[in-house]
Amino acid sequence: MSIIAIRTVIIYIVVITAMRIMGKRQLGELQPAELVVALLISDLAAVPMQENGMPLLNGIIPILILVALELLLSGLMLKVPFFQRLIGGKSKIIINDGNIDVNALNGMRMTIEDLMEALRQQSIFDLREVQYAIVEPNGRTSFLLKPSDRPVTCKDLDMSVPDNGIPMIIISDGKISKWGLDVCQIDEPWINEVLTDNNCKITDVFLLLADRDRTYHLIRKE
């Protein structure tokens, strides 16, 4: 039993390392080649864990080879556009200037119901509002609304809005985030000042958010 546990831990570490080397992407964002590699790695990892008589290297070496091939193909796709089109595919326009391209839909084996589902997933419920729709190589659909249906922006209203940066986690469950401090360009004396103003200790803080303008939101522990 201990041997099975050790083999499982080793394979787990190898697979996690392999996925980290290949980069961070959600399953729905994987290119076809990346999805194939991910599926193959999962199959290869399962065999050594189930077959105790199989040498562990018989599972690790193929995984490493797949990772190396993926890195090689990624490099080629960056340098040679032909490989990008061959392996990753290319985007296709299915709505052009408000008109549905039926031939493009048929070529991608995509039904009108599929198109409407993709619209609803983007919180678009009226097909007439869409000016362009593009199916990306990863299978997701991007939409551009018609000018009359696009949300109004500050630029449209000729308004000037200050840039306060990104609200970051400064304290999480009583622990200070150094990364949050660096991004918001604030220091620990400011944290102490906030804690004093709110009459609480750092251990009493469940969450403290702040931005570069030092506007903050503090949530105490229950």
| Contact assessment for residue 177 and residue 170, using Cβ atoms and an 8 Å cutoff | yes
User: 92-149: which CATH architecture?
Assistant: 2-Layer Sandwich (3.30)
Query: Please, where in the chain does CATH 3.30.240.20 lie?
Result: 92-149, 168-220
pTM of the model: 0.61
Residue 56 has pLDDT above 90, yes or no: no
- Judge whether 141 and 134 are in contact, CB under 8 Å: yes
pLDDT tens digits, 78-112: 787 777 777 767 889 999 999 999 999 998 888 99
Residue 100 near residue 114, CB atoms below 8 Å: no
- Which range has the worst mean pLDDT, 52-56, 180-184, 213-217? 52-56
For residues 139 and 19, what is the distance between their CA atoms, to the nearest angstrom? 21
Q: Would you identify the CATH topology of the domain 168-220? A: CRO Repressor (3.30.240)
pLDDT digits over 121-138, tens only?
999 999 999 999 999 877
For residue 209, pLDDT over 90 is answered with: yes
Q: Which parts of the chain fold into alpha helices (H)?
A: 2-22, 32-50, 57-79, 81-83, 102-107, 112-121, 178-184, 188-197
Q: Dihedral sign for Cα 208, 213, 214, 217, please.
A: negative
**Residue 218 DSSP class:** E
Write down the pLDDT at residue 168: 93
Instruction: State the Cα–Cα distance between residues 63 and 14, nearest whole angstrom.
Output: 8
Token couple for 166: 């990104």
